[in-house]
Amino acid sequence: MTTRIQHPQSPDPGSPPAAESERITLAESEWRDRLESAEFRVLRKEATEPAFTSPLNAEHRDGVFVCAGCGAELFRSDSKYDSGTGWPSFSDAIPGAVSTKRDFKLFVPRTEYHCSRCGGHQGHVFGDGPAPTGLRYCNNGIALRFRPAGDDGDPVRGPNPGKED
Ligand SMILES: [Zn+2]
């Protein structure tokens, strides 16, 4: 005979913590300590990762994509689509999760967006996305983590993270 041990269920994994709306402000040196160098360059210096390098391009499970800098929930898996660009792409963001600003690093202005909570750069939003929004949030995969639905563990870098470096 075996005794089945009942583990208490999480109260409500779907509800964001109350602190979700709180801003996180850290000094550059604190971000350097907290982030890997490649993450720091994208999140804090607005670098762009090389196309087709993120494991999250191949992430197709149900779940939520969170900011790699602070863990805020930014995109739901049902808004992710394959844009063919080589970067994780989304047709919509979770309301209020990202903020935008104009960016003139290219010849034509483009709209930069970043995590509303920590200010971490995520990517650029374009007007050539699918219906119904018509938007394409082109996101650096390294600036995101993925939390599969029903998984209370730490968010992951992709379906097959491979070797850690
Ligand atoms: Zn953040």
Q: Is the residue at 97 inside a domain?
A: yes
Ligand 1: distance of its center to the CA of 86 in Å? 22
The Cα 62–Cα 150 span in angstroms is 9
Q: Is the residue at 48 inside a domain?
A: yes
138 tagged catalytic: yes
Count how many domains the chain has: 1
**CB of 144 closer than 8 Å to CB of 68:** yes
The Cα 4–Cα 61 span in angstroms is 30
The Cα 94–Cα 148 span in angstroms is 16
Ligand 1: distance of its center to the CA of 121 in Å? 8
Q: What is the pLDDT along the chain (165 residues), one digit of tens a residue?
A: 444 554 444 444 444 444 456 899 999 999 999 999 999 999 999 999 999 999 999 999 999 999 999 999 999 999 999 999 999 999 999 999 999 998 777 667 789 999 999 999 999 999 999 999 999 999 999 999 999 999 988 999 999 755 444
Q: Which of 67, 70, 118, 138 is catalytic?
A: 138
Q: Is the residue at 103 inside a domain?
A: yes
- Domain harbouring 78, CATH code: 2.170.150.20
Q: Is the residue at 18 inside a domain?
A: no
Q: Is the residue at 37 inside a domain?
A: yes
What residue spans of the chain are helical by DSSP H? 28-34, 37-45
**CB of 123 closer than 8 Å to CB of 143:** yes
Domain that holds residue 75: 26-148
Ligand 1: distance of its center to the CA of 138 in Å? 16
Ligand 1: distance of its center to the CA of 2 in Å? 45
The Cα 63–Cα 77 span in angstroms is 5
The Cα 71–Cα 39 span in angstroms is 13
Q: How many CA atoms lie within 13 A of 111 on its CB side?
A: 10
Ligand 1: distance of its center to the CA of 127 in Å? 23
**CB of 137 closer than 8 Å to CB of 113:** yes
